[in-house]
């Protein structure tokens, strides 16, 4: 713009180097260096524009015209936020809806004056586009959420079907063990009553196993077949269906128990070959082998996990038995299907060759530290708590007792380095120290930010600098773990995500 350039040198005015000054007599503006050069040639120099003679103060003492510099500064700022027309070098302040292009004032005058061109300000066009993008984004998010909901439903259906397979496999496994017990005892028995009792037990088992779906449906009416089909079709509420399925299993179990009592072995007291046949136990995959009595606890390496290829007594393969914790630990992708604010994880603790049990922790998903703990339980970012040893017990035997762990294994050894930045600590994140609360340990140091504490005793006076979850099941496991000395004998054998629709 000519008004913002010196008429003598044609350079734009600038602070310090080319400050604009006004000649008092005529009021014309020039840059200070150009007028200083004229004054050096002749103290009484003429104005380059109107030729009026300047006899006033020296050019060095003339005040700077700051209003011109302010205008220049504003224009420079606008150039930083507005695109400039490549043809006219003016800011593109307008938008043509028909042509879908930005315009400067000269572009509008030269080629967009007809009625077919709908011209609006660029700011208005930007606001409209932002609104359009927001609407479309919400539509897409809605579709994504619907698809995620469908995936969750499919996952629940799969878990439900696996539960049915697990239930059936346990029943078949029980039958298999009974048959092998009968065979073993009958081979060495010399008592006729023992053999008769064994034969009756086998006959009863045949009655239970022989009926097939084909034989049943052959004698059924069309309406009865339809009922069977409906029962086999998953409804929209797998949780409700699973509960109904459990009730039906319970009824079947009681019927089996009554039949077993009616045809139980009637052996004499002096029968040394008494057959010890295990009764069919109620199948409930919310209670698995890890929750058995103290004498039955074994490490996961010894637990039969489904599917298997190991040989069973008297048969080619072992009947499958699902360890649900192992199953869930193998599918960290489930994390994508569980709302982070409702995530619940488990830690499987063991020591000295036995399982101590499982701890379920409800995470407070609004906290980044909770998401950090979840990632280490699932191993989604690489490192995992699996195989981690507990390192200390704070205030052992006193109020505020805490089980401390969280170092994970890397190629260089064990470390507590955080894997997510920006973890919360102190201030508004401080909370009470009560039994069951899970919080950070030494959180001001990134190299220890994977460490955590599980409170095993209340301490009303104590404060957690950043609690991020709470034990909802298995606090007694942590309370048992703190009794071990040294505490590094206690290890996290496994960890993972608890499905909200799979009782463990």
Q: Are residues 352 and 486 in the same domain?
A: yes
- DSSP characters over 265-322: ----TT-TT----PPPPPP-TTS-GGGS-GGG---GGGS--SS----BTTBSSPPP--
* Band of residue 102 on the pLDDT scale cut at 50, 70, 90: confident
Question: 119-128: long-range contacts (C-beta < 8 A, 24 or more apart)?
Answer: 119/94, 119/95, 120/94, 120/95, 121/93, 121/94, 121/95, 122/82, 122/92, 122/93, 122/94, 122/95, 124/95, 125/95, 125/97
Mean pLDDT of 357-361: 96
**Residue at 240 is within a domain:** yes
* Band of residue 220 on the pLDDT scale cut at 50, 70, 90: low
Mean pLDDT of 307-315: 38
The pLDDT of residue 1 = 63
The span from the CA of 484 to the CA of 392, in Å, is: 10
Select the more confidently predicted residue: 166 or 502: 166
* Band of residue 81 on the pLDDT scale cut at 50, 70, 90: low
Digit-coded pLDDT (tens) for 416-461:
999 888 888 888 888 888 999 999 987 678 888 899 999 999 998 8
Among 14-28, 195-209, 223-237, 293-307, the range scoring the smallest mean pLDDT is: 293-307
CATH number at residue 410: 2.40.100.10
Q: Mean pLDDT for the chain? A: 76
Q: Give yes or no for a cis peptide into 312 (omega within 30° of 0).
A: no
pLDDT for 375 beyond 50: yes
Q: Are residues 187 and 43 in the same domain?
A: no
For residue 92, the 8-state DSSP code is -
The span from the CA of 387 to the CA of 493, in Å, is: 6
pLDDT for 374 beyond 50: yes
The pLDDT of residue 256 = 47
The pLDDT of residue 472 = 95
Length of the chain as a residue count? 504
Strand locations in 292-434, DSSP E? 344-351, 354-363, 392-394, 402-405, 408-410, 413-415, 431-433
pLDDT for 226 beyond 60: no
**Residue at 127 is within a domain:** no
Final residue in a domain of this structure, among 46, 81, 116: 81
Question: 75-83: long-range contacts (C-beta < 8 A, 24 or more apart)?
Answer: 75/1, 75/4, 82/122
**Residue at 301 is within a domain:** no
For residue 65, the 8-state DSSP code is -
For residue 45, the 8-state DSSP code is P
Q: Are residues 338 and 212 in the same domain?
A: no
* Band of residue 339 on the pLDDT scale cut at 50, 70, 90: low
The pLDDT of residue 503 = 53
The span from the CA of 91 to the CA of 114, in Å, is: 22
* Band of residue 211 on the pLDDT scale cut at 50, 70, 90: low
Q: Are residues 475 and 394 in the same domain?
A: yes
Digit-coded pLDDT (tens) for 379-413:
878 899 999 999 999 999 999 999 999 999 888 88
**Residue at 263 is within a domain:** yes
Q: Are residues 155 and 61 in the same domain?
A: no
Domain count, the chain: 3
Most confident of 68-82, 248-262, 330-344, 399-413: 399-413
Q: Are residues 360 and 492 in the same domain?
A: yes
- The pTM of the full predicted model, rounded to 2 decimals, is 0.42
**Residue at 241 is within a domain:** yes
pLDDT for 360 beyond 70: yes
Among 50-64, 440-454, 471-485, the range scoring the smallest mean pLDDT is: 440-454
Counting Cα atoms < 13 Å in the Cβ hemisphere of 156 gives 20
**Residue at 312 is within a domain:** no
pLDDT for 332 beyond 60: no
**Residue at 370 is within a domain:** yes
The span from the CA of 131 to the CA of 135, in Å, is: 6
Q: For the chain, how far is it from start to end, CA to CA, in angstroms?
A: 77
Which of 349, 350, 351 has the alpha carbon at shortest distance from 361?
349
Which of 292, 346, 328, 297 has the alpha carbon at shortest distance from 454?
346
**Residue at 109 is within a domain:** no
Among 44-48, 93-97, 161-165, 356-360, the range scoring the smallest mean pLDDT is: 161-165
pLDDT for 109 beyond 50: yes
Q: Are residues 490 and 375 in the same domain?
A: yes
Rounded to the nearest 10 degrees, what angle do helices 238-262 and 192-209 cross at? 150
Mean pLDDT of 347-360: 94
Q: Are 333 and 363 in contact (CB under 8 A)?
A: no
- Domain limits for position 478: 325-497
Final residue in a domain of this structure, among 58, 81, 104: 81
Q: Are residues 255 and 354 in the same domain?
A: no
Among 105-109, 254-258, 326-330, the range scoring the smallest mean pLDDT is: 254-258
Q: Are residues 492 and 371 in the same domain?
A: yes
The span from the CA of 369 to the CA of 465, in Å, is: 12
Q: Are residues 171 and 245 in the same domain?
A: yes
Mean pLDDT of 305-315: 38
Q: Are residues 407 and 467 in the same domain?
A: yes
List CB contacts of 175: < 8 A, sequence separation 6 or more.
205, 208, 209, 280
Select the more confidently predicted residue: 300 or 228: 228
Final residue in a domain of this structure, among 242, 274, 306: 274
pLDDT for 68 beyond 50: yes
Counting Cα atoms < 13 Å in the Cβ hemisphere of 471 gives 25
CATH number at residue 55: 3.30.40.10
Q: Are residues 237 and 334 in the same domain?
A: no
């Amino acid at each position: 713009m000519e008004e913002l350039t010196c008429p003598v040198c044609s350079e734009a005015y600038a602070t310090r180097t080319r400050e604009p000054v006004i000649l008092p007599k005529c009021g014309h503006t020039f840059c200070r260096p150009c007028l200083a050069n004229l004054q050096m040639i002749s103290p009484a120099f003429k104005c380059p524009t109107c030729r009026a003679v300047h006899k006033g103060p020296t050019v060095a003492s003339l005040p700077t015209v700051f209003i011109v510099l302010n205008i220049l500064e504003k224009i420079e700022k606008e150039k930083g936020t507005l695109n400039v027309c490549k043809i006219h070098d003016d800011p593109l302040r307008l938008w043509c809806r028909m042509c879908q292009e930005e315009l400067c004032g000269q572009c509008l005058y030269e080629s967009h004056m007809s009625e077919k061109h709908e011209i609006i300000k660029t700011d208005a066009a930007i606001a409209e586009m932002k609104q359009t993008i927001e609407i479309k984004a919400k539509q897409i998010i809605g579709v994504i959420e619907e698809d995620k909901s469908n995936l969750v439903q499919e996952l629940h259906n799969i878990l439900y079907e696996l539960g049915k397979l697990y239930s059936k496999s346990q029943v078949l496994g029980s039958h298999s063990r009974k048959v092998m017990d009968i065979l073993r005892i009958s081979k060495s028995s010399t008592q006729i009553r023992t053999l008769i009792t064994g034969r009756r037990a086998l006959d009863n088992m045949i009655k239970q196993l022989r009926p097939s779906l084909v034989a049943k449906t052959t004698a059924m009416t069309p309406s009865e077949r339809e009922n069977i089909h409906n029962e086999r079709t998953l409804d929209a509420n797998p949780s409700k269906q699973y509960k109904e399925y459990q009730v039906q299993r319970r009824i079947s179990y009681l019927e089996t128990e009554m039949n077993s009592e009616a045809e139980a072995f009637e052996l004499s007291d002096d029968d040394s070959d008494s057959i010890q046949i295990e009764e069919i136990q109620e199948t409930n995959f919310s209670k698995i082998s890890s929750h058995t009595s103290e004498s039955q606890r074994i490490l996961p390496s010894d637990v039969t996990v489904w599917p298997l290829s190991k040989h069973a007594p008297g048969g080619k393969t072992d009947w499958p038995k699902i360890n649900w914790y192992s199953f869930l630990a193998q599918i960290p992708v489930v994390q994508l299907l569980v709302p982070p604010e409702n995530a619940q994880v488990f830690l499987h603790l063991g020591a000295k060759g036995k399982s101590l049990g499982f701890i379920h922790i409800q995470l407070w998903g609004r906290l980044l530290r909770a998401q950090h703990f979840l990632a280490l339980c699932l191993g989604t970012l690489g490192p995992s708590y699996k195989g981690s040893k507990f390192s200390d017990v704070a205030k052992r035997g006193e109020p505020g007792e805490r089980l401390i762990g969280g170092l994970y294994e890397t190629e260089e050894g064990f470390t507590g380095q955080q894997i997510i930045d920006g973890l919360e600590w102190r201030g508004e994140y401080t909370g009470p120290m009560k039994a069951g609360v899970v919080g950070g340990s030494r959180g001001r140091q990134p190299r220890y930010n994977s460490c955590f504490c599980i409170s095993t005793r209340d301490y009303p006076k104590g404060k957690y600098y950043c609690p991020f979850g709470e034990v909802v099941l298995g606090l007694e496991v942590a309370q048992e773990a703190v009794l071990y000395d040294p505490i590094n004998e206690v290890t996290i054998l496994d960890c993972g995500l608890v499905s909200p629709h799979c009782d463990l």
